[in-house]
A and B are shown apart, each in its own frame.
Chain A
Amino acid sequence: MTATKVSRSGGLQVEQTDWVALVGQFGALIVLVVICTVFWWLEPAFASQRNIFNVLRQVSIYGVLAVGMTYVILTGGIDLSIGSLLAFAGLVAASVEKGGRGLLSIGAAGEAAGYGVPAAAVAAITVGVLGGLLQGFSVSKLKVPPFIVTLGGMSIFRGAALLWSGGQPISAFRDEYKVLGQGFIGPVPIPVVIFALVAIVGFVALKYMRFGRHIYATGGNAEAARLSGLNTNRVITSVYVISGLCAGFAGFLLSSRLNSAEQVAGIGYELTVIAGVVIGGTSLFGGEGGIFGTVVGILLIGVLSNGLTLLNVNPYYQQIVVGLIIVFAVFFDQLIKRRRR
């Protein structure tokens, strides 16, 4: 089997863009641009640098979670546990920072210096990864449906958070701890920078790495992927680990931003995040979508919320608008798929 080079001028085109898919991906982007333009026109303050970064900072936690969620949904799964896992991880990070509280405080740990910010971040991430690993194992090896596993996880991690903290928030950190959540690099809030980095890494891994291809293949047809030699169980486990990792880190970030870790943090986040991923064109059946769409979807939700607030619209309407957009986005997606067939 010789590796003859195929001439580009030959009958076979090597690179060609799938335009319909592209329009599908950019559908949400077009809506985002239109909405931004309308807000800008109605309320010039919307486009101020300050407001733009404000919106971005507001969505950054959701954004980090949504990157992980995209991986899970691409395999045809779902992760409802991220809000609870975020709260649990945040509390663990906070107690590491404080040098002991809750289950960590063996005996009477005073207000002595903690273990430091990096240790806190690592602790939060570890909690997330372990939580994800447990759930991934349950989905891939024990074959419990993802919805059930993570519904259980949602309750378990929330309970763990309450147990850990004894129902009390952990607040008032040192300045070093608050830098990541509250600091700026130039005019750019650090959470925004972190969101961007996470999204870029998530995008590149999914699109250009073998691992990403395996995720799409597993989500597209798990049995065909397995018969092609993929370790589909490992792929499935890994996406929950990634989602858990994102949740753990987001938990640390949120506690840093709010200067407080609370057992009630992140309630309902999973639904906003899933909404963003779906609006961004990732199919709930798996195999289709990507990080670019997710970023757009999350921005869309953030912009809507911010713009409507600026326009003094009753915040209760915001939820209605987001709901309508979810349904519309999926409808639009289906429309394109029907045309393609």
Chain B
Amino acid sequence: MDRSTALLWMENVSKSFPGVQAIDNVSLHVGAGEILGLIGQNGAGKSTLMKILSGVYPVDSGEIVLEGKLIHITSPHQAQQLGVAIIYQELNLLPNLTVMENIFIGREPGPSLFVNRRQMEADTQAILDHLKLNLRPNAPVRTLSVAEQQMVEIAKTISRQVKVLIMDEPTSALSESEVKTLFAIMAELKQNGISIIFISHRLEEVIHICDRVTVLRDGRHVGDVVLHPVRDVTKDDLIRLMVGRSLETFFHEEERAEALADDVVLEVRHLSLRGNAQNADAEVLRDVSFDLRRGEILGLAGLVGAGRTELVRAIFGADKRTTGEIVLEGKPVRIDSPRDAIRLGIGLVPEDRKGQGLILGMAVRQNMSLVNLAAFTRLGFIDRREEAQGVANYVQRFQIRTPTIERRVVNLSGGNQQKVVIAKWLMLKPKILIMDEPTRGIDVGAKSEIYDLMHQLAGQGISIIMISSEFPELQAMCDRVICLTEGRLTGILPRSEVSQESLMHYCTLREHALLKDGEISL
């Protein structure tokens, strides 16, 4: 393949933002009907590169050639007209409109003012049929599942004569069977000569579906791996390219010193919680009891909706309406608000980093000192020098990659943002740190750094409660794992008994729990 035969050819493309060289001389090409994987850690430049291609950012230097012609993409609209379309992680549909209205938005068929709904419906049906999608053109989009919405987004894109389709983490919100459907559609598109650039953190999927993979690291192109026709590449190979080292350093299987003994820090007794956003009477947690020891990493496993996040938020005092007892270091305590929890030395790294963990518009400095600001305050005034030194100290210790502490956290990569959140809590010197999905959405390199950090903290006697949806992660990290099913505690597994199979078993123990309570099954 060369410039004239490739469908899309990007050569020596560079892009910098104030203080960061986001893309450095990257070249990338896609053939007609090819599925190209684009992988790299968070902050490697994947999204920036794709935003250049889809007209969101202008390039600093470099050339983009589409079907042999040099092009200058100046706006998303123009990119679309050229046949370059992008489907983002967050979908851009209008929930109150129907499938067909979404697909034809902005170019509804019919004479000027009025919409020819019959034609729109027929055209939509044709597109859906073509993609073998079983959806009604008249269904409001808000009634569809995330996967179905994604299909609508694809249908919408396809109906606009797309040549290159960029998909940014399309599978992150999908179940396994939905992923299969998506892959079938991708294969269909490929048959029709449409090229796809597939961005994903899920390397198994990349290996499965892509013809070729381009790997980025720190804004540079570090390798192209051909997967077609022979798929003899392993996940480990790709990780090595992405991080510049291998998987072995990723998990820490070595035994940590069993410094736990019987030193119980936190006891949760008969915790129950009623009411959620949808239903004030819903039983969210029922009679959950467990304890946490000093220096322990306690895993909290459960399927979606099991009440894991609700449980830790209840302990942290983030939601009221709970009943039960919490005993900290032998003394019963009342935790009615996050302030109470913090006063007692409990920290929470929330699941939703951007929505709950960080104040995105504020600098690293302000975010990190927020919890323990009192330590830098004299008579109500912040000692900015002392604050800066305290923050800088933690930035260095955790190797948070930021040019200065005055940088707004919105401009940091996901992994570095997460480190800011964790560092914020450590500045408080907590006894207990609750971490809700601490490695979600961050790249392998940063994950490994966060695992290191958690081991260090546990070694210093800080107790950690860790929620994770990834069973291998729980297996590798935790001293014990407690399992929740539909708001009830269904198992407490010591390290020796933790396996992916046993976790799955205890996280689906619905009937057992109900029978034990002497209730009739729902």
Contacts and interface: CB of A to CB of B under 8 A. Distances in A.
Contact of A208 (B374, B381, B392, B403): B381
B227 to A, nearest CB: 34
B370 A228 contact: yes
A3 B376 CA distance: 13
A213 B366 contact: yes
A85 to B, nearest CB: 27
A227 B404 contact: no
B339 interface: yes
B377 A223 contact: no
Contact of A221 (B341, B355, B388, B403): B355
Interface string A202-237: 000000111101101100110111111111000000
Nearest to B429: A1
B61 interface: no
Nearest to A225: B359
B199 interface: no
Contact of A12 (B363, B370, B373, B405): B405
B18 A210 contact: no
B338 A228 contact: yes
Contacts of B491: none
B152 interface: no
B389 A5 contact: yes
Most chain B CB atoms below 10 A, which of A209, A210, A216, A224? A224
B342 A229 contact: yes
A224 B355 CA distance: 7
Contacts of B241: none
Contacts of B94: none
Interface residues of A, number: 37
Contact of A217 (B356, B359, B392): B359
Contacts of A231: 337, 339
A155 B346 CA distance: 45
Given A208-B381, A210-B373, A210-B382, A12 B396 contact: yes
Given A221-B355, A229-B342, A6 B393 contact: yes
A20 B18 contact: yes
A219 to B, nearest CB: 9
Contacts of B392: 6, 12, 14
10 contacts: A12-B392, A14-B405, A18-B363, A18-B406, A209-B380, A210-B373, A227-B316, A228-B371, A229-B342, A340-B18
Interface pairs A-B: 9 shortest CB-CB: A220-B359, A229-B342, A16-B404, A221-B359, A6-B392, A210-B377, A228-B370, A13-B404, A14-B388
Interface of A: 1, 3-6, 10, 12-18, 20, 208-211, 213-214, 216-217, 220-221, 223-231, 287-288, 340-341
Interface of B: 18, 316, 318, 337-339, 341-343, 348, 350, 355-363, 366, 370-371, 373-374, 377, 380-382, 384, 388-390, 392-393, 395-396, 403-406, 408, 410, 424, 426, 429
Given A13-B403, A229-B338, 17 more contacts: A3-B390, A6-B392, A6-B393, A12-B395, A15-B388, A208-B382, A210-B374, A210-B377, A216-B362, A217-B362, A220-B362, A224-B355, A224-B356, A227-B318, A230-B339, A287-B362, A340-B18
